[in-house]
Amino acid sequence: MKMLFHYNWQVREEWYRWCEEVSGEELLKKRTGGVGSILETLFHIIDTEWSWLRVLRGEEDFKEDFAEYSSLEKVRELDARFRPEVEAFVANWNDGLEHRLLVSTGSDGTEFTDSWGEVMRHVIGHEIHHIGQLSVWSRELGREPVSADLLGRGLGNRR
């Protein structure tokens, strides 16, 4: 699981570099699917990752307001602010946490019980899903998307 978090972070950094070559107007343009724009999608990935970590730790979950982060620089700053906390949580992940239970309530009031391992895998899959949307939008802009290939990234050597 740790490897997939590192994969997501590496790919995210590559998307930031990809965004440096795109106008601010294009990064903020509302698009079909996803949560809105390219930047808003990156913001959403960061915010969701951090929010789930807070929920697992029993801390208050609150959402940042995208209006305060509507530039590539500000999205990167938010990531830099949240990432150390997430990295520490992931680095300290152990098998004993896998089956801890989280009881949560959906927006419709439905109660859910999921293991922490399921939540962590949900966070991983959530980012991969949105990275796929960025890839489609990249093609719509006539640009090559960031490679989503896991192989060749040297991630198998991490512990």
**Is the domain defined by 2-149 classed in CATH 1.20.120.450?**
yes
User: Could you read off the pLDDT of 107-158 as tens digits, one per residue?
Assistant: 899 999 999 999 999 999 999 999 999 999 999 999 999 999 999 898 887 6
Q: How many residues does the chain have?
A: 159
* Beta bridge partner(s), residue 115: 101
Contacts of range 61-69, beta carbons closer than 8 Å, 24 or more positions apart: 66/40, 69/39, 69/43
Task: Give yes or no for a contact between 135 and 146, defined as CB atoms under 8 angstroms apart.
Answer: yes
Amino acid at 41: T
Q: Is there a contact between 43 and 75 (Cβ–Cβ < 8 Å)?
A: yes
Query: Contacts for 154-157 with beta carbons within 8 Å, 24 or more apart?
Result: 155/3, 155/6, 155/7, 155/10, 156/3
pLDDT in tens, 82-96: 999 999 999 999 999
Could you give the CA distance from residue 63 to residue 78 in angstroms, rounded to a whole number?
Answer: 12
pLDDT at 159: 56
| C-alpha angle 151-52-134 in degrees, rounded to nearest 5 | 45
Domain locations in the chain?
Answer: 2-149
Please, which residues bridge with residue 103 across strands? 113
